[in-house]
Amino acid sequence: MTPIIEFKNVSKKFDQKLVIDQLDLSINKGEIFVLVGPSGSGKTTTLKMINALSEPTDGDIYFKEKRIKEYNIQKMRWQMGYVLQQIALFPTMDVKQNIEVIPEMLGWSKKDRSEAVDRLLTQVKLDPEQYRHRMPKELSGGEQQRIGILRALAANPEIILMDEPFSALDPISRNSLQELVLDLHQELGTTIIFVTHNMKEAVKLGTRIAVMNQGKIVQCDTPEVIVSQPKTAFVKSFFEETGEDEAKLVTAGDLMRMNFFSDEVNPGAPQIAASTTLNELYTLFATHDTVVIEEEQKLVGSLSRKDVFAFLSRDRT
């Protein structure tokens, strides 16, 4: 598969401080690619270099096999939607006008723009009759961010860049918008590059996750592999810190009672007590695909990596 975005030996310095260190990275068309890591790890800088808001000090970045520096930058940006943490709707424009910004720049007809606005509002379960002429100040934070996502999608871009877009929202709004991103991605298949410092959010959304630290990618893989087979102590500790209480308190028996298990028993798999914690399961899944749960001296079912991954990715509303 040919990558839609590729970093080749990319470094970035700010005032001689190295913030991105010889980054090699490929992002495939149609995936949700999540950059996750602590503050200062280089996530947002990496994202900004994709649409040339920041330029690399060394190395090259490619969009559809062509170096970004060879594009007309403004026209290239029209192919990339951008959703920020700060809800950046234009306060003097209504919902319809906010969504239409890029299509209008691209010369779409008034009729095509209006149809696109109504279609997109309907897609995210906002009634066009009620919402198209509302002003941003009349919307909740979650509704404003929904409109921000629609504005990024309006011109059918090939890539959506999302920089911690939900971190300022309450947990219910955040979960609702995560579900919205998954639904829109399933429906549209747009490539999404998503920055977060929250490993749970990364696991829920990502097709693949790149864990960053000090300007480098320390592991890049599917959520399931990163959860069950962290490559370094940093990746393991970062994941455990973001879900420390859950990992210590939730047991295999809890997963079984929440129906994250199979009632089929593989006699060749390792046997574990129902009291085994998530932390202990992570260690077991580094070397085994499935474990069998023993409770009251009976084999009652089995757990797989996929079962644990499904639990970690569950809807928490």
pLDDT at 239 over 80: no
pLDDT at 312 over 80: no
Q: Using only C-alpha atoms, what is the Rg of the chain?
A: 22
Q: Which residues of 182-198 are buried (b: 16+ CB within 10 A; e: fewer)?
A: bebbeeeebbbbbbbbb
More confident residue, 137 or 238: 137
d(C-alpha 107, C-alpha 239), whole Å = 46
Q: Picking from 41-45, 78-82, 134-138, 240-244, which range would have the lowest pLDDT averaged per residue?
A: 240-244
d(C-alpha 254, C-alpha 231), whole Å = 27
Indicate the average pLDDT of the chain: 88
Confidence grade of residue 313 (pLDDT, cut at 50, 70, 90): low
Structure tokens at 76: 């290239």
Task: Encode pLDDT of 72-92 as tens digits.
Answer: 999 999 999 999 877 678 999
pLDDT at 236 over 60: yes
Q: Picking from 63-77, 203-217, 222-236, 278-292, which range would have the lowest pLDDT averaged per residue?
A: 278-292
More confident residue, 309 or 190: 190
3-state secondary structure 26-71: EEECCCEEEEECCCCCCHHHHHHHHCCCCCCCEEEEEECCEEHHHC
pLDDT at residue 317 in the model: 45
d(C-alpha 300, C-alpha 312), whole Å = 22
Task: Encode pLDDT of 23-34 as tens digits.
Answer: 999 999 999 999
